[in-house]
A and B are shown apart, each in its own frame.
Chain A
Amino acid sequence: MGNKKGIILSGAIVGLISVLLVKLGNPMNMGMCIACFIRDIAGGIGLHRAEVVQYIRPEVIGLVIGAFGMAMFSKEFETKGGSSPFTRFILGIAVMVGALVFLGCPLRMVLRLAGGDLNALFGIAGFVAGILLGIVFLNKGFSLKRSYKLSKAEGFMFPAVFAGLFALLMAAPSFIFFSKEGPGSMYAPIFFALAAGLVVGVLAQKTRLCMVGGIRDLVMFKDTYLLSGFVAILVFALIGNMAFGFFKLGFAEQPVAHTDALWNFLGMALAGWGSVLLGGCPLRQLILAGEGNTDSAVAVMGMLVGAALSHNFGLASSPKGVTPAGQIAVIILFAVVLVIASLNIEKSSKVEMKGDVKIG
């Protein structure tokens, strides 16, 4: 129980910081959204030209640097990689496309519910369904194979890239895009956003906060540790939203959301399934990448490219609804994830050999 206090407190802080970020300028229910913010960064550096979602989000930079700093401080920084990197890249794309059809990562899904957006319920149902699908494959022996220790320099690359992004944000050269209207034009002051990211990055590194892990561990191991962080975010964001008068219960006219229940469900199912196979939600991938896990760094790059593709090909939803292209993409990516999940199942005897499980 003593252990759980840390993650509940962290979840509470993440929930409250998220509401505060909205108060200070972020779009509604988007205090902290990994999918939306990576999408904005993709736009900020010109990988897509959707003019309403372009901004280099300092929150994400803070998350990475905070996790990096905390890992260095607690001597947990360890460079490793080589566990099916390109497969992880593709899964990153699938998770992002699914999240952008729903309009939010698993973290924003919880924040949307905490703001009274009931469409998030279909997202959560889909998310759980996707996780259950992933668990079926995990239990069958799904594995992206082991990772290996790599040189420290390799692990420093990812945090260095994000430090570089911060330099670009501050210098604001003409080739960097800033939205003049829409969600990308709404943001909290840079240094507050950076500090918020740093705090959440430190806490998430320390507690291993993970939205996918919460439900996965409950189902697989009857373990409620990670789930308690998930619930704490929901409860405290709800309290914060009530306090600031942001809470608005209903389905219609919710901020940066659409009411298509089926596609909210399917989008999040795809994101949940892909995330289980990756070993963690988009937030967790960012934190792991900050800790030196270059497999997660590759997954994040997949998300970045997935975001760019989503907007270049018109896959991402908008408050007007889901696009036909987005629907086709989700179906195709379900098939892709199914192929990935099936091809990476090791026969149980083989798992034991590779994992060196010796019984006796």
Chain B
Amino acid sequence: MVKVDARGVSCPQPVLLTKNAAKNNPAEIQVVVDNNTAKSNVERFLKNSGYKSISFSSQGDDYVVTAKK
């Protein structure tokens, strides 16, 4: 699984970091973000990149987006 920490960076860097992490087409990606905008942008990007199962969980004030092929 590939993990990305995209907390604190501004638009479009969370998606850019996710894109870099998704380069080798890993089966599972986990992205930690700290705001709703980044959460929905990352979700949209993962969906567009062919990840079918996307789930969310909270980690303190942050969101963890987990995507599987």
Q: A residues engaging B (CB < 8 A)?
A: 3, 74, 76, 78, 80, 83, 138-139, 143-144, 146-149, 208, 213, 216-217, 220-223, 225, 279-280, 295, 351-352, 355-360
Contacts and interface: CB of A to CB of B under 8 A. Distances in A.
Given A220-B16, A223-B45, A223-B48, A147 B8 contact: yes
Nearest to B10: A279
A83 B12 contact: no
Nearest to B7: A146
28 contacts: A3-B44, A78-B35, A83-B8, A138-B13, A138-B16, A139-B16, A143-B13, A144-B10, A146-B8, A147-B9, A148-B8, A208-B37, A208-B40, A208-B41, A216-B12, A220-B12, A220-B19, A221-B12, A221-B19, A223-B44, A225-B44, A279-B11, A352-B20, A355-B5, A355-B13, A357-B3, A357-B21, A359-B21
A357 B4 contact: yes
Contacts of A222: 48
A359 B1 CA distance: 8
Interface residues of B, number: 27
B36 interface: yes
Given A146-B8, A221-B15, 17 more contacts: A3-B44, A76-B35, A83-B9, A147-B9, A149-B61, A213-B11, A221-B12, A221-B48, A280-B11, A352-B20, A355-B5, A355-B6, A357-B4, A357-B5, A358-B3, A358-B4, A358-B5
B55 to A, nearest CB: 17
Contacts of B17: 351, 355, 357
B2 interface: yes
Q: Which of B11, B21, B35, B41 has the most CB of A within 10 A?
A: B11
Nearest to A139: B16
A83 B21 CA distance: 23
Contacts of A221: 12, 15, 19, 45, 48
B44 to A, nearest CB: 6
Contact of B2 (A208, A216, A351, A359): A359
A222 B44 CA distance: 11
A356 B5 contact: yes
Given A222-B48, A357-B3, A146 B12 contact: no
A220 B3 CA distance: 21
A143 to B, nearest CB: 6
B58 to A, nearest CB: 13
Contacts of A146: 7-9
A99 to B, nearest CB: 20
A358 B30 CA distance: 10
Contacts of A357: 2-5, 17, 20-21
Contacts of A359: 2, 21
Q: Which 9 A-B pairs have the closest CB atoms?
A: A146-B8, A356-B5, A279-B11, A279-B10, A358-B3, A355-B17, A357-B4, A76-B36, A146-B9
A352 B9 CA distance: 12
B41 to A, nearest CB: 8
Contacts of B45: 221, 223
B2 to A, nearest CB: 6
B49 to A, nearest CB: 9
Contacts of B20: 352, 357
Contacts of B5: 355-358
Contacts of A139: 16
A358 B6 CA distance: 11
A347 B13 CA distance: 15
Contacts of A216: 12
Contacts of A351: 17
A354 B48 CA distance: 26
A7 to B, nearest CB: 11
